[in-house]
Amino acid sequence: MRKGISAAKYLGAIILLAAVARPQEFSRNDRGKAEDMLKVIAGDIRKHYYDPNLHGLDWDAKVAEAKQKIDGSTSMSMALSHIAGLLDMLNDSHTFFLPPDRASTFDYGVEYQMVGDHCFVTEVRPHSDADTKGVKSGDEILTLNGYDITRDTLWKMQYVFSVLRPQPNLKLSLRDPSGAQREVEVVTKVHLHKLVKDFTADTGASDYFDILRQEETAEHLMRLRYADLGDQLFVLKLPEFSLTPTEVGDMMGKLRKHQNLIVDLRGNPGGSIETLEHVLGEIFEKDVKIADRVGRKESKPQVAKTTHNPFKGKIIVLVDSKSASCSELFARVIQLEKRGVVFGDHSSGSVMEARDYGEKMGADVVLYYGAQITDADLIMSDGKSLEHVGVTPDRLLLPSANAVAAGRDPVLAAAAQELGVNLSSEQAGKLFPYEWAPEN
């Protein structure tokens, strides 16, 4: 943690909130399931975590403490929160507990993120309770369910509210662009689903196709988008690093005829290191080292190999507080190799290499859970890690509350102007409109 209250203390407070929000009956059988999950996840950490010394933690003692807390829990939510709290002690952006799926999804109807040191509402779902109660883009969130918001704590709130313990409502302390403050309680829209899904051929076809539709929707929302602004500029909106080599090649075929390139990585959470290698290989005339991958047993360089016909024009990369992992690596390589410049906000500082470890319990009815576990640190060519540090942009540009409220994009507009293209912030804000996932 760089500032504010400690991560452990903060998550401890959120665990308490999650545990008492909605009491549940907690049977001896449920307690046994939680203890089994703790044992398996703790073992996965011992086996796979990149630092075998676990940052000096007495892991066995911490696991024993977590088990005692589970023994004293009064609900499954509280018990699972203690497993999450155990992994949080590693203070690692890419290592966290993945609890069993719920039979419901929760839609708060509002999106928000850090802009500099302020948390702004960025989108409000039309006709949601938030919309009905007058929550607007550009409103600054001063507290969320009574908790102060900082860059260090917001992602933990979002993890708790989205994954670990969804809330029936959000209590927002807001300040609008004019400076007026108000309190709003937003009721969460809950979508109920089947508690048990059947994927057998005879009876489970509808469940199977429901999963396929969800995957197709997610792929659509995270698709590659671009804006062709004439021969002088191509703007690439890359929501995540999930492209195949063929898709990267097709993308490069579109932009090679342009003189300049803006790569918009704002909101990009990362993705595949292989995609990162392919994209970098298409914009460098030489092989370039991304980072040294420092794993549990060895260290080796990760290198992007140049292609036969790389893009040679000028490049500006856009990042913000939600740019993470591969997007931060991309931006930092651009800086270190002096291939271009970075505009925007400080990135999130969430840069490790990790993989998901899925686990399950049960036979006929299976309960799935797991953890994402870091298996390597990534050390850049300057000898530093981006974890908890992030990328500092060459040109710090933060949209104002009024710009967010009006849907303007002064960051993209400034980048275009830097490359000789006249693009207003109003025009820039309309190039890549936000898309809500359909309610289900």
Residues 346-389 pLDDT 10s: 999 999 999 999 999 987 778 899 999 999 999 999 999 999 99
Residues 242-290 pLDDT 10s: 999 999 999 998 898 899 999 999 999 999 999 999 999 999 999 999 9
Helix (H, G, I), strand (E, B) or coil at 34: helix
- Residue listed under structure tokens 């975590």: 49
395 shares its domain with 333: yes
Question: Could you list the residue range(s) of the whole structural domain that residue 380 is in?
Answer: 218-352+376-429
Residue 13 in domain: yes
Residue 399 in domain: yes
Helix (H, G, I), strand (E, B) or coil at 146: coil
| CA-based radius of gyration for the chain | 23
pLDDT band at 17 (very low <50, low <70, confident <90, very high): very low
**What is residue 220's predicted lDDT score, i.e. its pLDDT?**
73
Q: Stretch 29-58: mean pLDDT, rounded? A: 97
Q: Stretch 168-175: mean pLDDT, rounded? A: 96
Residue 19 in domain: yes
pLDDT band at 206 (very low <50, low <70, confident <90, very high): low
Mean pLDDT of the chain: 89
The answer, yes or no, to whether residue 200 has pLDDT greater than 70, is no
Last residue of a domain, one of 91, 120, 154: 91
124 shares its domain with 82: no
Sequence-ordered list of residues with C-beta below 8 angstroms from that of 369, at least 6 positions apart, any chain: 37, 41, 97, 98, 99, 100, 358, 359, 360, 361
In this structure, the strands spanning 341-344 and 314-319 are parallel
Domain count within the chain: 3
Residue 96 in domain: no
**What is residue 102's predicted lDDT score, i.e. its pLDDT?**
76
11 shares its domain with 83: yes
Q: Stretch 411-423: mean pLDDT, rounded? A: 97
The CATH code of the domain that includes 228 is 3.90.226.10
Last residue of a domain, one of 39, 61, 91: 91
